[in-house]
Homo-oligomer: A and B are copies of this chain.
Amino acid sequence: MNRDKQKQSKPNQLTGKDIAKHNSRDSCWVIIHGKAYDVTEFLPEHPGGPKIILKYAGKDATEEYEPIHPPDTLDKYLPKEKHLGEVNMDTVEKEEKEVDPDEEARLERVKTMPILEQCFNLMDFEAVARRVMKKTAWAYYSSGADDEITMRENHSAYHKIWFRPRVLQNVKNIDFSTTMLGTKVDIPFYVTATALGKLGHPEGEVVLTRGAKKHNVIQMIPTLASCSFDEIVDAREGDQVQWLQLYVNADRKITEKIVKHAEARGCKGLFITVDAPQLGRREKDMRSKFSDVGSNVQSSGGSDVDRSQGAARAISSFIDPALCWDDIPWFMSITKMPIILKGVQRVEDVIRAIEVGVQGVVLSNHGGRQLDFARSGIEVLAEVMPVLRERGWADRIEIFVDGGVRRATDIIKALCLGAKGVGIGRPFLYAMSAYGLPGVDRAMQLLKDEMEMNMRLIGCSSVEELNPTLVDTRGLSMHTTSVPSDTLGLNVYDPLVGPRESKL
């Protein structure tokens, strides 16, 4: 037992007892990675609310802190004088955690999780991740805005596009490599930016860096990564290419520093997020948080109740809602990286993007995590391309699409309609969360296998041959719900049944 160890502090080291005294709103110390911090004054400013910190007042908060704060957070946001120095961790009482039946059930599921070879498609990783991920991590990754209609529509929209394949084409040799912003890639997808990778895997985003390298695809580095930007860049190998996803800070100096640093470190594209002036309300995530901190608290109606709105909003308060078209020239002035607007959602804005001179747009609704009832990227693409072709502008910009891509057929549909490539986010997070790098590797390999076969079956041996006549999109833009069900009528109908067993 740890408690049998010698509980002596080295000189200058704090002890668990020292910390434990500061366990209230009046004086609140916490331990993170073996060091103590006085966060008393910071409490009201904490984007995630004070309550979640007070839960760890006087204690070690590392485990909760780790996945949702980039490594340099404390240095950036807490004044030096509040850094109290090292703690002799042998003197800190290990907390006996309450047995959480949900968590116990999860650990049981981990023991019998399917082996990697049982995953035959990208949905399979999601199915496994759902069973083996921690509840709050799953809630954060899997949630969407409001009723999650758009989140689900994103994949569903692909189901409204059907193929008109060509036959009797020589498809012995298939080449589905392409280029994106000048970079040659093996297959027309990239790993799009997603936040808080360490919620799913202790190593975080660098796992995706390694997977992208192996399959020669581009990784887009997220602003809200769990790893620091430099850690992710450092994980790059050889001539591997990365892009930067950017949330623009209200303080443009900070933004400028980030952009210039990214360019200096070799990033080859700047993807400015334009669909998130405010980060979305994701009720599934909020509900999951709530049950964590508040379930047996009787409401006082007052300000003491933690109105936590989930992980993402907590870490995103810096995003500038004033960002607008007039800012784009400034970005062009501070970097030579190609600039791409991520989150464009109608043809008028694509035209404006071309006029303002950016190199690309991502037709995206942020994975359904921002505005519910935003249309899917693929539907917007089908609206955009005919207009651009009519103007002869189709080649003046590179158009990407993300959201809902799960199958190689989805990728092919997007390319047929005119996209340069597609971004894939959650599926790789799930593969990583369930199986680490081998999961990401297999997920990408499965897409390549599907891609090879489906390119053959549609009768095209290269991505140049993909074109709009190969798809039928007539049902795509029809957003209908059925007439509400005829409850009484259905109740009295005896459904047909097949033959019954005979008696023995």
Report A's interface with B, CB cutoff 8 A. Answer: 109, 111-121, 123-124, 126-128, 130, 138, 142, 146-149, 152-153, 155-157, 159-172, 274-278, 280-281, 283-284, 286-287, 290-291, 294-299, 301, 305, 307, 320-325, 327-328, 341, 343-346, 348-349, 370-375, 406-407, 409, 413, 438, 449-450, 452-454, 456-458, 469, 472, 474-475, 477-484, 486-489, 491-504
Contacts and interface: CB of A to CB of B under 8 A. Distances in A.
A270 to B, nearest CB: 15
Nearest to A380: B164
A127 to B, nearest CB: 3
A281 B159 CA distance: 18
B493 A321 contact: no
Given A123-B488, A164-B375, A501-B114, A159 B496 contact: no
A281 B448 CA distance: 13
A294 B484 CA distance: 31
Contact of A128 (B119, B127, B297, B498): B498
A70 B301 CA distance: 31
Nearest to A503: B296
8 tightest Cβ-Cβ pairs between the two chains A and B = A127-B498, A114-B499, A152-B484, A118-B499, A371-B457, A475-B479, A115-B299, A172-B322
A246 to B, nearest CB: 13
Contact of A148 (B149, B171, B299, B496): B496
A3 to B, nearest CB: 32
B155 A499 contact: no
Interface centre among A127, A142, A371, A406 (most CB of B within 10 A): A371
Contacts of A324: 168-170
A403 to B, nearest CB: 13
Nearest to A283: B120
A290 B503 contact: no
A23 to B, nearest CB: 24
Contacts of A297: 115
Contacts of A497: 287, 487, 491
Given A164-B345, A453-B280, A498-B128, A475 B480 contact: yes
Interface centre among A120, A156, A346, A494 (most CB of B within 10 A): A120
A113 to B, nearest CB: 7
A262 B488 CA distance: 39
A489 B481 CA distance: 13
A279 to B, nearest CB: 9
A159 B123 contact: no
A413 to B, nearest CB: 8
A296 B325 CA distance: 57
Nearest to A307: B117
Contacts of A491: 123, 127, 497-498
Given A115-B502, A160-B481, A296-B503, A168 B325 contact: yes
Contacts of A277: 171-172, 456-457
A496 B145 CA distance: 11
Contacts of A167: 274-275, 341, 343-345, 349
Nearest to A320: B172
Given A147-B487, A163-B375, A278-B452, 12 more contacts: A117-B305, A120-B281, A120-B287, A126-B492, A127-B488, A157-B481, A168-B349, A171-B321, A283-B496, A284-B494, A370-B457, A481-B482
A484 to B, nearest CB: 4
